[in-house]
Amino acid sequence: MSDIIKELLDEDAFDPKKLFDEEEYSTLIIAREGFSKKDNTAADLLEGLLEKGITRQESEAIFLKLKESNSVDLMVNAIKKADRIDEKTILTAACWESCLDFTNHFLFFVELTCHDSFLLSLEALTVVEYCEGTVDEPTLTKAMLIAQNTKSNNKELINDLIENIKSRIA
């Protein structure tokens, strides 16, 4: 009998109640149907970022691996699927810390910047600021409308967002 099966059959191996305790485990589930080996590895890395007690050194190693695998779309999808604000914040920070370009998801991060959570808003604004590609005029117009009409309490961050959008308009 394999070790995995032994562990699954061992009633004392884990406490099922802990599986639903947000303080014990992350609940992010990344749908992996049709994933390549590279995508599975990137999903494992993202889930690893949410582990309690992860060190800065471990995080930086994950950021490097995410950059190497160019996991932009996977990272955005993980943020969308994350239910908890703290998970969204960690995953959003991973976007800019991995030094990947999220220009193709500019509007998504503009919308996240308008969130009431200060930390999530700050991390999303940082991703917007790190977008290196050209954003087309209709997208910038839509982004400006979103930023100007937000009810977010993070006025300083929203002002910075508006200035960033203005600087991109030709």
Report the pLDDT value the prediction gives residue 53, as an integer from 0 to 100. 87
| Residue 169 φ/ψ region, left for φ over 0, alpha for ψ in the -120 to 50 degree band, beta for the rest | beta
Are 92 and 127 within 8 A, CB to CB? yes
- State pTM to two decimals: 0.78
How far is the CA of 90 from the CAs of 9, 46, 51, 52, 124, in angstroms? 34, 9, 11, 12, 10
The answer to whether residue 156 scores a pLDDT higher than 70 is yes
Say which amino acid occupies 63. Answer: F
Structure-model confidence comparison of residues 45 and 154, the more confident one = 154
Say which amino acid occupies 73. Answer: D
A 10 A CB-CB count for 131 gives 19
* Segment 143-152, tens digit of pLDDT: 999 999 999 9
The answer to whether residue 120 scores a pLDDT higher than 90 is yes
* Segment 51-80, tens digit of pLDDT: 888 899 999 998 998 999 898 998 999 999
